[in-house]
Amino acid sequence: MSILKTPLSLVAIGCAFAPITVLAEDSSLTNPNISAVLDGYYQSGDRPMSERAEGFGLGETELAISANIDDMFYGKMTAVLASHDGETEVELEEAFIQTMGLPEGLSVRAGRFLSDVGYLNNQHLHTDSFADRPAAYRAFLGGHYFDDGLRVSIVAPTDIYWNLGFEAFKGDKMRAADEHGERDFSNIGVYSAFTKFGGDIGVDSSWQLGLAYLRNENGKLLGEEEDEHVDDEHDHGGHAHSAKYTGENTYIADFVYKWAPNGNYKYQHLTLSGEYFRVTDIFAMEEHDEHEHEAFSNNDYHQGWYVSSVYQFSPNWSAGLRYGQVDSYEAHGDHLDPQKLKETEFSVAWHHSHFSTVRLQYTNQQGTNFDGFENDNIITLQYVMTLGAHGAHQF
């Protein structure tokens, strides 16, 4: 214990004698933002590729700490606790530093962080208007894709908002199947490039469009593999956040439109959004004979999309409607089996404040040969509560 007491005492003494003006220059240097997000639910059935199982359960309990390190750097760490099969699993979702004040709108982020591809991916799950991410996200990005890597981005000096960026990641969570553990994977497995641009339409409305490309060096499925699972942890109910269906190239297009009377979102607002995913080059063609090559090349892609509308009609109530679809293929010997999943979701949420939400959601899912899931109607009752400092949400 004496080893711990000494440095703590020195820090306390140093702070006690430090000039008050120095400590007051930036409050986050001495008082970091600390928060926790509590997520609990009851669900009447199982959903494909979802971490929420039937019955009572806990979603992600998020613990976060962030602060300005000094006048040049910002840092954040986010840990996620989840309960699965009676055990509590802990995963580090974010641990990054980011530059501040670089010239010409340039920014660099390094460590573990959420990729900026797509519209929803760079947002935490508790900010969503539905209990789960769309099926396309669960299929191609593991719900939300975070990884160890580096991002360089720039906000262009234009009249409209225009952001461009490049990312390089380790890519473990985007690897294709390796049933025998014999594949030689690239150490830097994922590269992405993205652009987002948008602006205002008068006082009431704003919009944003986004395009992204993700190159997955380890995404192709070898011919002898019979399924798309990276490993058993990626089955329904696991907490691996890994992509279910992978390929060498992923293309994403997204849009969002927001409306609020006089630009005041507190009392009333409408959000329309949607995204389209296309994953190509999903099988290693050289592993097949000529007959198999033709069969695979005709269907060598996955795709998915969703459209969403969320309307907050009073300060405390909102309603959302979302439809999404995933079309994928699974290899069985010398042929591919098509799979389809359709989800129609309606949610009603009560917000007592910005920090508390109770949501009731109805989901109609229709699957064709999709992981053995059959047509079903599912009811989800969820609460999301935030303790402590909570930063503003993304656009």
Q: Judge whether 12 lies within some domain.
A: no
For residue 11, being part of any structural domain is answered with: no
What integer pLDDT is reported at residue 338 of this predicted model? 86
Q: What is the pLDDT of residue 157?
A: 93
- Domain residue limits at 222: 33-388
Q: Say what the pLDDT of residue 245 is.
A: 92
Q: For the chain, how many structural domains are there in total?
A: 1
Give the per-residue pLDDT at 265: 83
Q: Is 24 domain-assigned?
A: no
Q: Confirm whether 20 is domain-assigned.
A: no
What gap in Å lies between CA 248 and CA 264, rounded to an integer? 43
Global confidence as pTM: 0.86
* 3-state SS class at 331: strand
Cβ atoms within 10 Å, residue 176: 24
pLDDT at residue 19, as a whole number? 42
Specify burial of residue 99 (Cβ count, 10 A radius: 0-12, 13-18, 19+): middle
**Is beta strand 317-332 parallel, antiparallel or unpaired with respect to 335-353?**
antiparallel
Q: One digit per residue, pLDDT tens: the chain, 395 residues?
A: 334 433 434 334 344 444 433 434 555 566 789 999 999 999 999 888 888 889 999 998 999 999 999 999 999 999 999 877 677 889 999 999 999 989 999 999 999 999 999 999 999 999 999 999 999 999 999 999 999 999 999 999 999 999 999 999 999 999 987 776 778 888 999 999 999 999 999 999 999 999 999 999 999 887 655 444 444 444 433 445 789 999 999 999 999 999 999 888 888 999 999 999 999 998 875 544 555 555 555 568 999 999 999 999 999 999 999 999 999 988 766 667 889 999 999 999 999 988 999 999 999 999 877 766 778 999 999 999 999 876 666 77
- Residue 339: its H or E element: strand 335-353
Residue 7 maps to a domain:
no
The answer to the question of residue 167 being in a domain is: yes
Residue-level pLDDT at 295: 52
Look up the CATH number of the domain holding residue 41: 2.40.160.10
Task: Kindly state whether residue 19 falls inside one of the protein's structural domains.
Answer: no
Supply the pLDDT for residue 20: 38
Structural domain contains residue 15: no
CA distance 328 to 340: 6
61 CB neighbour count, 10 Å cutoff: 18
